[in-house]
Amino acid sequence: MSDTQHGSSTSNDERPDGAGKAAEGSGPAAGNGDDAHKPKIGDTRPSPRADDRSSGDGDDTPKPGRRRRRRGGRNRSKGRGDGQQRPVELDTGFDAVELDEAQLEARRGKHRNGKPVGRYLMAVHRTEQATQIAVLEGRQLIEHYVARPADDISQIHGNIYLARVANVLPGMEAAFVDIGTPKNAVLYRGDVAYDPDDVEGGGKPKIEDVLKSKQTIVCQVTKNPIGVKGARLTQEVSLPGRFVVLVPNSSTYGISKRLPDDERKRLRKILDGVKPDQHGVIVRTAAENVTAEEIENDVKRLVALWDKIDDLAKASQAPTLLYREPDMAVRVIREEFSKDYRAVVIDDPDLYKEVDEYVSGITPALADRVQYYDPEAEKLPLFERHHIHEQLHRALDRKVWLPSGGSLIIEHTEALTVIDVNTGKNVGKDSLEDTVYANNLEAAEEIARQLRL
């Protein structure tokens, strides 16, 4: 940034008396030939030599030899002579289409030219090495998931086991549990299930009073094993569905606090009629605006699933895997898929069949949006057709360009990730403040997208 400053063309004779005395004041530079004309640090008055170049008519046009006020100094924030803030005008080279919540709500569940209208598209690509899921908003990639083929050792989060207690450590308030993996899993006191009626005086019992060595229990993995650490377990098993979460053998009863009060009241009435007697139910945010029939079907499906798990546990010997979490594609669809999606496109026939059956069972109205993409019949692979690989490569670059010519420099270090925002080619049209502000708006949006990817 230049250090030059804007100043007036007022000559020495026109200065106030105080200013004139300051110019003629004491100091070693006063009256010493050329030294008398050297400006002092912090002096914003024009040099006496500027009088010869000044027209003396009060013209405010900067002339050579004049000292100018620093850019961004006095009245910097006003941007205009009227003292008002100039609105930011962002030039991206194209007219952006913005949809508010009312417009999005109006488009949900509708069709155009016989095809569903939705904000998002989910593309699922499976190979022997991995399954990739890409979520696009319009044509822009906003989320990307990758999962390797699941195994019985490292990828066990959500699995339910019939396990055997190996030993109890009162000093650690934990127990090591054999679930059939090389490393025993750990079960902490806070995750142990117990009957409050069996506890004298109330409160939580000691772990050694609830669990004994070689005892058989049903538990669920809440954290995958990492390095030398075994998996973490809980005895409070939960089965997530599309709209509700079933908590077997529990009195848990709740509705997501993210929902509006009116919607919570409506869902509570529905839940009172469909809640199983022996199990707890938690209503998820995805249940907003869904019908009572859809919620009831989800509850019945989860109850039937738990009955199968319970029957298998009674007929098995510990340690045994009772339930495995479904494929990542099914999990993502369970968590994300809604009327906001215009389609879910899958290029693997077996996975397509699995997902189609799952969606048909939980939300039949959206079953027609699950589509099979035949890679042999189509000219381009699924990810190439939607330019997903191209967007992934750009997202992984150290330098990411912004629409108006600015850029982000993303550096990954051991301690943290540093993001530097540069204006780059974005020179703007008006003031520096407007240019930087517009560049930062683009950067904030792109940084959020980069973090999701």
- Give the domain extent around 25: 12-72
Average pLDDT over residues 339-343: 90
pLDDT of residue 16: 44
pLDDT of residue 69: 52
Q: What is the mean pLDDT of the chain?
A: 79
Which among 161, 90, 107 is positioned nearest to 325, based on CA atoms? 161
Kindly give the pairing relationship between strand 131-137 and strand 120-126: antiparallel
Single-letter code of the amino acid located at 134: A
Question: Is residue 341 a part of any domain in this protein?
Answer: yes
Judged against a pLDDT cut of 80, whether residue 344 lies above it is answered with yes
Least confident of 97-101, 148-152, 276-280, 447-451: 97-101
pLDDT of residue 115: 57
**% of the chain residues with pLDDT over 90:** 40
Question: Is residue 193 a part of any domain in this protein?
Answer: no
CA pair distance 155, 148, nearest whole angstrom: 9
Greatest mean pLDDT among 148-162, 167-181, 359-373 lies in 167-181
Question: Is residue 395 a part of any domain in this protein?
Answer: no
Judged against a pLDDT cut of 70, whether residue 230 lies above it is answered with yes
CA pair distance 2, 14, nearest whole angstrom: 29
Give yes or no: residues 260 and 294 share one domain: yes
Judged against a pLDDT cut of 70, whether residue 80 lies above it is answered with no
Domain with residue 123: its CATH number is 3.30.420
Give yes or no: residues 378 and 424 share one domain: no
Concatenated DSSP letters for 410-427? EEE-SS-EEEEEE-TT--
Average pLDDT over residues 2-12: 44
pLDDT of residue 428: 73
Question: How many other C-beta atoms lie within 10 A of the C-beta of residue 20?
Answer: 13
Question: Is residue 303 a part of any domain in this protein?
Answer: yes
Question: Is residue 3 a part of any domain in this protein?
Answer: no
Task: Specify the pTM.
Answer: 0.64
Greatest mean pLDDT among 112-126, 138-152, 212-226, 382-396 lies in 212-226
Average pLDDT over residues 207-228: 93
Give residue 231's pLDDT band: very low, low, confident or very high (50, 70, 90). very high
Question: Is residue 155 a part of any domain in this protein?
Answer: no
Single-letter code of the amino acid located at 300: K
Question: Is residue 33 a part of any domain in this protein?
Answer: yes
Give yes or no: residues 380 and 420 share one domain: no
pLDDT of residue 300: 93
Give yes or no: residues 38 and 80 share one domain: no
pLDDT of residue 348: 94
Give yes or no: residues 84 and 65 share one domain: no
Give yes or no: residues 243 and 304 share one domain: yes
Greatest mean pLDDT among 65-69, 152-156, 199-203, 272-276 lies in 272-276
Average pLDDT over residues 372-397: 90
Judged against a pLDDT cut of 90, whether residue 170 lies above it is answered with yes
Give yes or no: residues 309 and 352 share one domain: no
Task: Give the three-class secondary structure for 185.
Answer: strand
In tens, the pLDDT along 176-197 reads 999 999 899 999 999 998 877 7
Give yes or no: residues 28 and 67 share one domain: yes
pLDDT of residue 425: 80
In sequence order, the β-bridge partners of residue 419 are: 410
Judged against a pLDDT cut of 90, whether residue 234 lies above it is answered with yes
Instruction: Please give the structure tokens belonging to residue 321.
Output: 């895997």
Task: Give the three-class secondary structure for 125.
Answer: strand
Give yes or no: residues 30 and 64 share one domain: yes
Question: Is residue 204 a part of any domain in this protein?
Answer: no
Give yes or no: residues 292 and 353 share one domain: no
pLDDT of residue 21: 42
Which among 88, 106, 75 is positioned nearest to 6, based on CA atoms? 75
Question: How many other C-beta atoms lie within 10 A of the C-beta of residue 262?
Answer: 8
pLDDT of residue 54: 45
Give residue 129's pLDDT band: very low, low, confident or very high (50, 70, 90). confident
Q: 13 vs 452, which has greater pLDDT?
A: 452
**% of the chain residues with pLDDT over 70:** 72
Give yes or no: residues 353 and 335 share one domain: yes
Number of DSSP helices (H) and strands (E) in the chain, helices first: 10, 20
Number of domains within the chain: 4
Judged against a pLDDT cut of 90, whether residue 247 lies above it is answered with yes
Give yes or no: residues 337 and 368 share one domain: yes
**Residue 40, burial from CB neighbour count under 10 angstroms (0-12, 13-18, 19+):** exposed
